[in-house]
Amino acid sequence: MVSPEDSLVRAFVGGTSVLPDRLLENSYVEFSQGRIQKVSAIPKRIRRDIEVIDATGSYVTPGMIDIHVHGGAGADFMDGTVDAVAKACEAHLLHGVTTIFPTTTTGSEASIHAMINAVSSVRGDSLPGSQDVPWLPHIEGIHLYGPYFTPEKSGCHKKDGCRTPVRSEFESYFKTGLVKIATCAAELPGCIDFYRYAKKRGCLVTCGHSNASWSEMAAAHKAGMSHVDHFWCAMSSVASVRSRLGPPMQGSMLEFVLGHPTMSTEVIADGQHLAPELLEFAWRMKGPKMLCLVSDTSRAMDMPVGKYTFGNQDENVWIYNDGMVGRSEEGGLASSVVGLDHCVRHTASATEIPLVDVIRMATLTPAERTGIDDQTGSIQVGKRADLLLLSKTLRVQRVVRSLAAPEGR
């Protein structure tokens, strides 16, 4: 099912290509040497040296991009080993994710560095001139997600691992050059220094696991924060801010995101975290250019029902995979247990959101928000040949993961 692109010239012929603004039926998508070469209606003549791949009855889409993902197939990125990183990445490629941002938890400084080092080792194997690993997604960087959470909004993350950002710690993560998405709760002491530092490093700067007020969000936004993790999950509301700060009631993260067109966000569209009306409401309020689909999945993806560790094996908390979603030991929602392809299918089937927008929110929008849209995220000439064939029910039929490395690597 996974087929790396090589020096041959190939073309998906006869499928319905999902472009950023429309569906192109009976399409022709030609690719070679790791790049998309042509996108058009089926030409009258196709050169004999081109390997034709019949896409009739299927959708041709860009490869998916997951910007918030903790593991899969029994492995958590925070296990901090090359084997765990490779195993989880390979599992997500089979779910149609051709670009991935491995995501940390509230682990210790040592375990976060171990995770970054393991990701660096796996990512290095894909560089030109070294042994290529075509069965892994492109790893564009790390999502430094934990440990800078407020404990009262820690969710399934280990509560005693939550801490305030201290430059001597977070600077050591950024100096690796791998952190491309950076999260911090907006009410924590030191958060403004963190946001400014992350912004200067070119990161998508986010707020998550936070009980921040409107005014704290405004200060964070001014310092470079422009995204909120998993909307409605482990985030402040008017009621929670009032409980923390007292009257009068103040705006929360929710109102700030909805009230500012420069703020983007994401939804866990696994069918368990959010009801369909919330998915559709987020899309109507933010639009497909400022809303991403994420899996936020754990090591329990593709695994049997049962109990699993979340995070580093030695610093873990336990979650229970009930076959539909992860649950904490207290019974609350934890990380999801499905891939991004499931989130795409659920969003398309459970809401009135057009397919073009659904696919965009899992491809081009995360690419734009992380600054890699010049390379991937849409079916466009010159971009990496990261492509999927999806059935009419949006199940992954074939994955093409380009061997072309991002520019600048």
Report the pLDDT value the prediction gives residue 58, as an integer from 0 to 100.
98
From the list 48, 71, 58, the residue with the least C-alpha distance to 13 is 58
How far apart are the C-alpha atoms of 181 and 169, rounded to whole Å? Answer: 16
The pLDDT tens digits for 43-81 are 999 999 999 999 999 999 999 999 999 999 999 999 999
Q: With both helix axes pointing from N to C terminus, report the angle between 167-174 and 191-200 in degrees, rounded to the nearest 10.
A: 20
How far apart are the C-alpha atoms of 180 and 144, rounded to whole Å? Answer: 8
How far apart are the C-alpha atoms of 62 and 153, rounded to whole Å? Answer: 34
Report the pLDDT value the prediction gives residue 2, as an integer from 0 to 100.
64
For residues 370 and 361, the answer to whether their CB atoms sit within 8 Å is no
What distance lies between CA 43 and its chain's CA centroid? 35
Radius of gyration of the chain measured on its C-alpha atoms: 21
For residues 156 and 317, the answer to whether their CB atoms sit within 8 Å is yes
Report the pLDDT value the prediction gives residue 156, as an integer from 0 to 100.
86
Structural tokens at position 62? 């860009």
The answer to whether 1-61+378-409 and 64-375 have equal CATH topology is no
How far apart are the C-alpha atoms of 167 and 157, rounded to whole Å? Answer: 22
The CATH superfamily assigned to 1-61+378-409 is Urease, subunit C, domain 1 (2.30.40.10)
CA atoms within 13 A on the CB side of 300: 28
Structural tokens at position 18? 């999902």
For the chain (length 409 residues), average pLDDT per consecutive 10? 74 98 98 96 96 98 98 98 97 98 96 97 59 78 96 88 96 97 98 98 97 98 98 97 97 98 98 98 98 98 97 90 94 94 98 98 98 98 97 98 63
For residues 406 and 9, the answer to whether their CB atoms sit within 8 Å is no
Fold annotation for 64-375: TIM Barrel (3.20.20)
Domain boundaries, the chain: 1-61+378-409, 64-375
For residues 204 and 226, the answer to whether their CB atoms sit within 8 Å is yes
How far apart are the C-alpha atoms of 352 and 315, rounded to whole Å? Answer: 42
